[in-house]
Amino acid sequence: MWRQRQWSLHDCRREAAEGRPRTPIVAVTANALAGEDERCRAAGMDAYLAKPVNLARLRATAQRWIRGAAPTDSAIDRTVLDPWVGDDEAARRDLVLKFAETASGSRADIESAMASGDLPALAAAAHRLKGGALAVGARAIAEVAATLESAARAGDRPKCQDALGPLASQVNRLTTELAA
């Protein structure tokens, strides 16, 4: 693994120097011992899958970095903020931008908690994200956050891991919409 990681670090530097997007590194290993996912992340891997890998887990992991076709609906349900901001587009944008900043921070907190194996911290961060998402109408983010919160409270590490892809996808979708 170390030799592969050295090559990966070199490759990551080359990608950055050439202005290319970073290639994610996913560990797929038969070593399913407790703590192996933390060791892989500590070594710089982006994700960890234990063999045998089923299609649903592989898809959820890949979804974290692969951008698919854009959904036709908006990341924000405008009707949620309408009672508060009415037609004030500047206020709406300000609230959604603040939420997007918070969502990115919560995503980082969730990923950090997952990497360290701290499921109570993951549940707390997911709970905060869910509340904020519901407040601004980011329903898809709220759904993923609810899944993460529930799985973390149940101690279901694989389900938490699987939800990281959809979380990243939805937060990226929101930021992409706001940048447009």
pLDDT band at residue 64 using 50, 70 and 90 as cut-offs = low
* pLDDT tens digits, one per residue of 98-117: 999 999 999 999 999 998 99
* pLDDT tens digits, one per residue of 11-49: 656 666 777 666 677 777 776 677 777 777 667 677 777
Q: Distances from the Cα of 163 to the Cαs of 40, 109, 141, 157, in angstroms?
A: 18, 14, 11, 10
Contact 20, 3 (CB under 8 A): no
The CATH classification of domain 2-53, taken from the options 3.40.50.2300, 2.40.40.20, 1.20.120.420, 3.40.50.300:
3.40.50.2300
The CATH T-level fold of domain 78-179 is: Four Helix Bundle (Hemerythrin (Met), subunit A) (1.20.120)
Residue extent(s) of CATH 3.40.50.2300 domains in the chain: 2-53
